[in-house]
Amino acid sequence: MSESITELVLATGNPNKVAELAQLLGGRWSIKRRPEDLAETIEDGATLYENAAKKAREVHMATGSACLADDTGLFVAALGGRPGVFSARYAGPNADSADNVRLLLSELSGADDRTAYFETVLVLLDARGHETVVNGRCEGVIAEVSTGRAGFGYDPVFVPFDGDGRSFAEMTADEKNTFSHRGRALRTLRQELV
């Protein structure tokens, strides 16, 4: 059983994810950022869970506080589930989001099946190191061109099935959170912790 949590350190340094997580968690916990002097976690796990657990443990060891880590992948049917756990480095070790999106659109050029899903695994460690793991999935399709300027990563080409045809990057933060993998995972986490 998790001990009661009042203060939570986010293990991610990605400012976009911090903003989403803080918006979804605010009100319930006091949110703190990952210590700036802590080296970035090397994400060398074979699964989203392994990477998220590694991030959570490193931050927990450094701070002694309760902490929450997220690892997310985009799984594309026509690519046999790629880029999956390697989504951040899909177009190479120094790739940015524009490079990743460009490669994805080129690999899917002419594909009939453009279905894909995002999956997020969240690992929460309480101050004693007790672990809670949840996941969240969002199914959709990869659009043929990028649209929208909001969000981050693959958002301009991901159109969730549960939406109205707009990409995540055309949605407000609240709209994206309603459908998204991360929003779903966090709602499950909140339920688990009541």
117 near ligand IMP, judged by CB under 6 A? no
Among 97, 132, 147, 177, binds ligand IMP (CB under 6 A): 97
Q: In 10 A of CB 3, how many CB atoms?
A: 9
88 near ligand IMP, judged by CB under 6 A? yes
Q: In 10 A of CB 168, how many CB atoms?
A: 26
Binding mask 125-154 for ligand IMP (x = CB under 6 A): --------------------------xxxx
167 near ligand IMP, judged by CB under 6 A? no
CB closer to ligand IMP, 74 vs 186: 74
- Exposed, middle or buried, 180 (CB in 10 Å: 0-12/13-18/19+)? buried
Whether 157 contacts 105, CB under 8 Å? yes
Residue 96 among the catalytic residues:
no
- Per DSSP (E only), the strands in 46-167 are 67-76, 83-84, 115-125, 131-142, 158-160
Q: Which stretch binds ligand IMP (CB under 6 A): 28-36, 53-61, 66-74, 142-150?
A: 66-74
Angstrom distances, CA of residue 17 to CA of 70, 147, 173, 184? 9, 20, 11, 14
170 near ligand IMP, judged by CB under 6 A? no
Which residue ranges make up the site for ligand IMP (CB under 6 A)?
A: 14, 43, 71-72, 74, 87-88, 97, 100, 151-155, 168, 180, 182
